[in-house]
Structure formats: structure tokens, C-alpha cells
Amino acid sequence: PGQQQRTDLKQRLGTDPRVVLAARVMEATRPELDDMIRQEAASNPALEAIDLDEEMTEEEVLRQLERAAPDRHTDEDEAYRVSICNPDERASWIDFLAAPPSLKEHLLAQLLGLVPARLEPLAHAVVECVGPKGYLEVAPEEIALETDASLEDVREVVRLLQSCDPPGVGAYDLRECLLIQLRERTDALGVLARTVVEKHWRNLRTLRFDRIATSLRVSREDVSTAVEELSNLSPYPGEAFGTGSRYGTQSLPAISPDVVYRRTPNGITIEVVGAESWCLRLSRWYAAQYRKLRKEASADPEEKRHVNEFVRRALDLIQSVKQRQRTLYAIAEALLKAQYSFINSGDYHHLKPLMRKDIARECGFHLATVSRATANKTVQIPTGETLPFEVLFQHKHRVQKLIEEILAGEDPEQPLTDQQIADRLNAMGVKIARRTVAKYRERIVGVSSRKRRMA
């Protein structure tokens, strides 16, 4: 019974329109937020919204503001100013909830039913690390550090995630993705395909089918059939969910940053970009009707339901947008405090190791809130450079930049070995192993010191 009650509670929370909307607004990029506001204004006559970025004549602005001018201040109209909408276009929360879930929502709904209660916060954090292709983009060790969880617990949650739909989700690379999809196969073809991926991945990538056939003592045709079977699997399981949201937008590259740091005579200021381009407010007419119907015991139930629904939706969106602004500002402020030298100069030498859990602790937020608020968003620093928020959290960005600088300054006749690069980094205070340097170096130049000398 206790487990059933907990499951029922999860389901209610998962479909509460206010909870769903708040999460959607929080994780929205600026283009997605604009689209959310436009579509809700078009379908909800109680929400008035003026897009200040649209060009309007002075007369049009005055006319719209005149229509929106409040005759009396109330709690319901407190939420900003207003705009135009089409009262004939109406939608219901049912339309919103009936829309296809995002990949992360789909995964979380499954995973919460598999993990014990104590691992639910960790399940949220792991799902936040799943990229649009369905791959996990953060190593288990880093998730453990971010969440103060044990590595064993992280690996257990990842294992359970990899049992979720769509098949192959939660892998760290293509090879693991294919193996996850093949692990339940017991037929001869499935077993052969799994063996090819598991034991002969390098030969498979270079299409050396003869070598695979010889090693496995099967015909080349058998190998070709197994490879054909692999082509029927999904290399990117997350793509089945697309990159859009329930509001129909696509996750496009940010045209402008979500947060801007500006240098002024009084120091660095913070601007959260997005909602300032909108005037949002509850319709005067709907606010008056809402107050009126609450007092009338004999009011028509259908009219009351209609007014209550639209008013609630309008206020929920306005409050969600305000909460998004406050949350992003608090995170940006904490990041400025933690990474001031880097933000001020743009010099990667000043980038300090920092984790989301540190910012969550500083702001008093849940780790999942910080992850959701900063995912797929960008920040512009005073130098004019626009960076993903990820840069401010990932120690690896600083390491890669330092290695790039070291390689750029090396003597072409005497290129540095990976150990020499590691020694230089250690002298700078960056503790790093030679093997880790080799991975970065391969990503940057692709060849060893011996081959760079030969070139």
C-alpha cells in the first residue's frame, strides 16, 4: 500500500499542470520561452502579452497600453502589464498534457518507478545528464561528485535507466548503445551481432569483415548479415522524441545569450535576457469576472469553470516566468562570485573547478533546479564572448584551453610528449595524468609527439 501511495503521488505530481509548466519554463531557452508566451497568449484570452521586440507604431503602442491600463490594482493583475490576444482561440490544459512528453519526461516517469525512494533525487540528476541523442553526457564519477552520491548508487541508477524505453538509451557511446539493444537477443543472428560489436568493434568500424569472419569461424556472408541487423538498430535512441517541446518549438542555437554580464564603472552587472521583451498581465475583463463569479453563489458553473481555468493558466505562466527570471539571476550571481576572475577577463587560466552542487548549495536550490535552469543556455561575459553555461562548471574546458596553448607554443622540431605536457600542467597547479593529457591531445591535434615531429 505504501509503495502504491507513493506511485500515485508521483503520477499526480507528474501531471499537475503547474508543476509541468514551471519545469518547462525553467528549462526553456529564450526562443522557446518566446514561443511559449505567444502560443499561450493566442489560446488564452485571460493572458495579455505585448511582444516589445516587434516593431509597432507609436499609436499602436499607446492604443494597446490604453486597452491594458488597469482601473484598479488587485492581486490578480499584479503580474506585469499586457497585450493582445484572440478570445476566439481557446485551449485547455488537456491539450497541453495530451502532447507527447519530452525524452527526459518519458525517462523520468519510467525511472521513478524502478528506483527505491532514497535514490529518487539521484534519478532526477542522472536523467538531466541525458543528451538529445539519448546518450549520457556526464561520467558516473562526475555525477557522483555533483550529487554527493556513491559511485555504486550512480551505476545502479544508470543500469536501471538503460533498461528503460527507448532501447539503447543511457549509453555513453555508440558501441554501448548497440550492446544494450542486443543484450536480450538469444537468437543466432542476435548473438552473432552482439559478438561482433562486443569483440570486434575496431574491425567493424573499419569494415574488415573478412578478419571478423576468420576470427569467429563463420562465413563473410554471416558477418554481412549480422552487420545488416545492426543497421536496423537505433544509433541515437533519443532522436525518436525529436528536439522540440510541447509548444512545438525546436531547440535551435541561441541567437542571443540567456544571461549577460556587463562591465560598468560600478562593477559587473547581470541581466537575465528573455521576459523583459514581454509585457505580461492578466486581462482586466477576466480579472473582474473572476472576482465577480467567486462572490456569486448562483453563478453558471460552466462559465465559472471557463473563467477560473483561463485565469489560473494566465497566472501560472506569469508566475513561472517570474520564477525563471529570479532563479537564473540567483545562479548568475553565484557564478559571478565563484568565477569572477574568469568572467571579468575571459582568461581560461582563471577558470576554477566548480560543480553545480556548489551553486545549488550557495543558492539554496535543488541540484535538479540548477541543472534544468542552465541546460542548453548561454552566457555572455564582458569580453563579448558567448559561452555555454557548461563552461563555468566544467574543469575540462580550462584543461583543454591550457593544453591548446601549450601545443601552440611548442617547438615544431621538438614537440612535447604527453608526459611533458602533464608536467607543465602540474606546475600550473592542474593535477592531471599522462593518459588524460593523451585524450585531450588526440581531440585537439589527433597525433602523438613522434608523428607531429615527422609532420
Region 88-109: mean pLDDT is 59
CA atoms of 406 and 425, how far apart (whole Å): 9
For the stretch 143-179, pLDDT in tens is 888 788 899 999 999 999 999 988 999 998 889 999 9
**According to the model, what pLDDT value does residue 18 have?**
79
pTM assigned to the model: 0.53
> What integer pLDDT is reported at residue 81 of this predicted model?
34
- Name the band, by pLDDT with cuts 50, 70 and 90, for residue 251: very low
- CA contacts within 13 A on the Cβ side of 434: 7
Query: Yes or no: is domain 395-454 CATH 1.10.10.60?
Result: yes
pLDDT in tens, 384-397: 888 888 888 865 66
Ordered by start, the domain boundaries in the chain are 23-87+253-389, 103-161, 174-233, 395-454
Q: What percent of the chain has pLDDT over 70?
A: 76
pLDDT at 186 exceeding the cut of 50: yes
How far apart CA 173 and CA 181 sit, in angstroms, is 13
**What would the pLDDT profile of 296-318 be if each residue is shown by its tens digit?**
777 788 888 888 888 888 899 98
The per-residue pLDDT of the chain, averaged, comes to 77
Of the candidates 370, 346, 347, the residue with the CA atom closest to the CA atom of residue 358: 370
* Three-class DSSP labels, the chain: CHHHHHHHHHHHHHHCHHHHHHHHHHHCCHHHHHHHHHHHHHHCCCEEEEECCCCCCHHHHHHHHHHHCCCCCCCHHHCCCCCCCCCCCCCCHHHHHHCCCCHHHHHHHHHCCCCCHHHHHHHHHHHHCECCCCCECCCHHHHHHHHCCCHHHHHHHHHHHCCCCCCCCCCCCHHHHHHHHHCCCCCHHHHHHHHHHHHCHHHHHCCCHHHHHHHHCCCHHHHHHHHHHHCCCCCCHHHHHCCCCCCCCCCCCCCCCCEEEEEECCEEEEEECCHHHEEEEECHHHHHHHHHHHHCCCCCHHHHHHHHHHHHHHHHHHHHHHHHHHHHHHHHHHHHHHCHHHHHHCCHHHCCCCCHHHHHHHHCCCHHHHHHHHCCCEEECCCCCEEECHHHHCHHHHHHHHHHHHHHCCECCECCCHHHHHHHHHHCCCCCCHHHHHHHHHHHCCCCHHHHHHC
pLDDT for the residue 326: 92
Question: How does pLDDT run across 206-238, given as a tens digit for each residue?
Answer: 888 889 999 999 998 898 888 888 888 888 888
The whole-angstrom separation of Cα 439 and Cα 455 is: 20
On the question of pLDDT at 77 being above 60, the answer is no
Q: What is the pLDDT of residue 259?
A: 92
Q: Virtual CA dihedral for 289, 291, 293, 295, nearest 10 degrees?
A: -150
Q: What percent of the chain is predicted at pLDDT more than 90?
A: 19
Q: What is the pLDDT of residues 404-418, one digit of tens each?
A: 888 888 787 788 888
Go through 327-365 and write b for each residue having 16 or more CB atoms within 10 A of its CB, e for each that does not.
bbebbbebbbebbeebbbeeebeebeebbbbbbbebbeb
Mean pLDDT along residues 257-264: 91
Residue 3 — left, alpha, or beta (φ > 0 → left; ψ -120 to 50 → alpha)? alpha
